Amino acid sequence: MNSSANRLTIRRPDDWHVHLRDGAILAGVVPHTARQFARAIVMPNLAAPITSVASAQAYRQRILAALPEGSPFTPLMTCYLTDHSDPDELQRGFEEGVWLAAKLYPAHATTGSAHGVTDVANIHSALERMERIGMPLLVHGEVTQADVDVFDREAVFIERVLAPLLRAMPGLRMVFEHITTAEAADFVMAAGENVAATITPQHLHINRNAMLVGGIRPHAYCLPVAKREKHRLALRKAATSGNPKFFLGTDTAPHARHLKEAACGCAGIFNAPFALESYLQVFEEEDALDRFEAFSSENGPAFYGLPLNAETVTLERSAIEVPGEIDANGTVIVPFHAGETLRWRFVG
Ligand code: NCD
Ligand code: ZN
Ligand code: ZN
């Protein structure tokens, strides 16, 4: 890291959790991620989920074709687990370098999870294989039972699913994605080195009041939903602690404006356009600028066993206004921090 009071230069970061979508919107959103990040883990929850090696290869090609001319961005692909996932197919894609992890969506937990896993017992043999070959499991950690309050679904998932799973498969490499609670941060800290977590910018900036005070605010709605203030503070502490188990994963999740501003609005926050600016503001507020590079550019590659990026990026302390909406190749999307002024600007 190279810093003066007004400029910060770090190794180029990676984003360990993105949704790039497909079709026309893909070319509208991928440049935002590729502008700031060298690599990103691309989530497989398309309308037709990425469950085969062939579909992951084809999706990767569509992403590359949608990149701005000359962009060196590398998409890292993932496999969507279903009740019928084949351990051999998982292993083949992993060994051929087509995907580097598999994603567990509990069925009906979030956007694009209709084909997800109805009971982890159904993917036992897939998980055993992943443990054996060292293939990471990425987890959307929420239970879906109707009797569990939506604000408790992550903490209950730890008790009912994650803790038993890690007891049964203590060597499984696992990333607890987009954690939102103190319970999740504590669980990750107490677990072995094989367990890590991503943290989004929104869960560092907002608590549940942002969604519900003064009117219902669909652009602050994502899953898992933002929780109480004490959880936001615990996440800020974990992200800025220097603990290598925590790393950057924006969970940028673009949805058209009209699909969020609706009677049943979609879950997901589009934060890619100002992702680094958003995170950096948190690190500055927490007096942890010296830990920003580890969180953004080092801890993720170390967990995944990938090389660190050689090139650097610079941010400078100068106000930047976030637009109220962004046109993503014909789809209007409201970005995170819309209408706000952020204190750091991504230079390149
Ligand atoms: C994500 C999406 O829109 O794909 N939405 C979200 O609220 N985070 C899915 C997910 O990551 O759970
Ligand atoms: Zn998720
Ligand atoms: Zn996500």
Q: In this structure, which ligand is nearest to the CA of 256?
A: 1
Q: What is the CATH number of the domain that holds 47?
A: 3.20.20.140
Residue 1 pLDDT > 80 = no
Q: Which residues line ligand 1 (CB under 6 A)?
A: 19, 45, 110-112, 140, 222-223, 251, 253, 267-268
Residue 325 pLDDT > 80 = yes
Starting at the earlier edge strand, list the strands of the sheet with 174-176. 15-18, 39-42, 74-80, 99-104, 137-139, 174-176, 195-199, 246-248
Q: Which atom of ligand 1 sits closest to the CA of residue 222? A: 7
Structural domain range at position 29: 2-346
Q: Rounded to the nearest whole angstrom, what is the distance from the C-alpha of residue 268 to the centroid of ligand 2?
A: 9
**How many folded domains does the chain comprise?**
1
Residue 271 pLDDT > 80 = yes
Mean pLDDT value of segment 210-225: 98
Q: Kindly report, residue by residue over 67-94, the tens digit of the pLDDT.
A: 999 999 999 999 999 999 999 999 999 9
Secondary structure element (H or E) that encloses residue 95, with its range? helix 87-95
**Rounded to whole angstroms, how far apart are CA atoms 49 and 102?**
12
CB-based neighbours (< 5 A) of ligand 3, an ion: 251
Q: Kindly report, residue by residue over 116-132, the tens digit of the pLDDT.
A: 999 999 999 999 999 99
pTM score = 0.98
Q: 251 catalytic, yes or no?
A: yes
